[in-house]
């Protein structure tokens, strides 16, 4: 099952604290701190294939804890809250967001939903892109404290119409490094090339995967 846009778009307005007008992808959004996520409302898994899910490895909340593949959709550490924080904007009402202007990605994903993924067992922690290395065009998704107010581009993921996930911060970093438009960095199994238990969830320009998120 793909990400369900109808629910995401209906809830987006309630989640937004505001957008600023920007010409370089600098508009800010933040989700409401009162968002409810539990095993009946908003809680979900993010997985590839039948059951290869994102898992906060060993349930650790240490900064930079790896988010790895784990073949279970019921494991506690594999539960997430998909928070819609807005839609990609390609100039509507003067708004260009969340990708850097000039990268072409706001045009590519115009109208698609932007998500922030909280770890459901402790929702002050989120999936984060800060370990991405632009020079190598690869990096693992890791756990970090959620950015609640202001710009959180390193924690924003855009769901494409084909169910790929485009990490905003990683793509912005790659564009800044190259200084030119680039094919998108997407989430997959990256340089490891494996979705076996314990293998990292990677961001890269190859080995990209299509993801399921039943309750998004």
Q: What percent of the chain has pLDDT over 70?
A: 79
Angle of CA points 183, 185, 187, to nearest 5°? 145
Instruction: Flag whether 9 is in a domain.
Output: yes
Instruction: Flag whether 213 is in a domain.
Output: no
Q: Given a cut of 80, is residue 87 above it in pLDDT?
A: yes
Instruction: Flag whether 27 is in a domain.
Output: yes
Helix (H, G, I), strand (E, B) or coil at 83: strand
Pull the structure tokens for residue 36: 């409810």
Reported as a single tens digit per residue, the pLDDT across 134-191 is 999 999 999 999 998 767 999 999 999 999 999 999 999 999 999 887 779 999 986 6
Instruction: Flag whether 126 is in a domain.
Output: yes
Instruction: Flag whether 214 is in a domain.
Output: no
CATH number of residue 69's parent domain: 2.80.10.50
How far is residue 47's CA from residue 61's CA, in Å, rounded to a whole number? 21
> What average pLDDT does the structure give for the chain?
83
CB 157 within 8 A of CB 84: no
State the pLDDT at residue 119: 96
Give CA separation, 33 vs 15, 24, 29, 38, 62, in Å.
9, 27, 12, 14, 22
Reported as a single tens digit per residue, the pLDDT across 95-143 is 999 999 999 999 999 999 999 999 999 999 999 999 999 999 999 999 9
Instruction: Flag whether 216 is in a domain.
Output: no
- Structural domain containing residue 75: 5-204
Which of the two residues, 60 and 179, has the higher pLDDT score?
A: 60
Angle of CA points 211, 214, 216, to nearest 5°? 90
> What is residue 19's DSSP assignment?
-
Could you give the count of Cα atoms lying within 13 Å of 103 in the half-sphere of its Cβ?
31
How far is residue 109's CA from residue 139's CA, in Å, rounded to a whole number? 22
Q: What are phi and psi of 175, to 5 degrees?
A: -65, -40
State the pLDDT at residue 12: 35
Q: How many domains does the chain contain in total?
A: 1
Instruction: Flag whether 211 is in a domain.
Output: no
Instruction: Flag whether 132 is in a domain.
Output: yes
First to last CA, the chain: 10
pTM: 0.84
């Amino acid at each position: 099952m793909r990400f369900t846009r109808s629910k995401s778009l209906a809830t987006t307005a309630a989640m937004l604290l505001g957008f600023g007008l920007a010409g370089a992808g600098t508009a800010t959004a933040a989700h409401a701190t009162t968002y409810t996520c539990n095993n009946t409302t908003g809680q979900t898994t993010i997985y590839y294939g039948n059951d290869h899910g994102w898992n906060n490895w060993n349930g650790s909340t240490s900064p930079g804890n790896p988010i790895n593949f784990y073949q279970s959709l019921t494991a506690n550490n594999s539960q997430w809250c998909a928070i819609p924080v807005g839609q990609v904007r390609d100039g509507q009402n003067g708004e260009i967001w969340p990708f850097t202007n000039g990268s072409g990605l706001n045009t590519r994903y115009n109208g698609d939903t932007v998500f922030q993924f909280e770890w459901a067992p402790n929702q002050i922690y989120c999936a984060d892109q800060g370990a991405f290395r632009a020079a190598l065009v690869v990096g693992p998704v890791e756990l970090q404290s959620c950015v609640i107010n202001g710009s959180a581009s390193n924690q924003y993921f855009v769901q494409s119409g084909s169910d790929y996930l485009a990490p905003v911060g990683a793509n912005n970093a790659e564009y800044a490094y190259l200084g030119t438009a680039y094919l998108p960095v997407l989430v997959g199994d990256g340089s490891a090339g494996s979705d076996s238990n314990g293998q990292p969830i990677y961001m890269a320009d190859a080995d990209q995967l299509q993801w399921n998120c039943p309750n998004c």
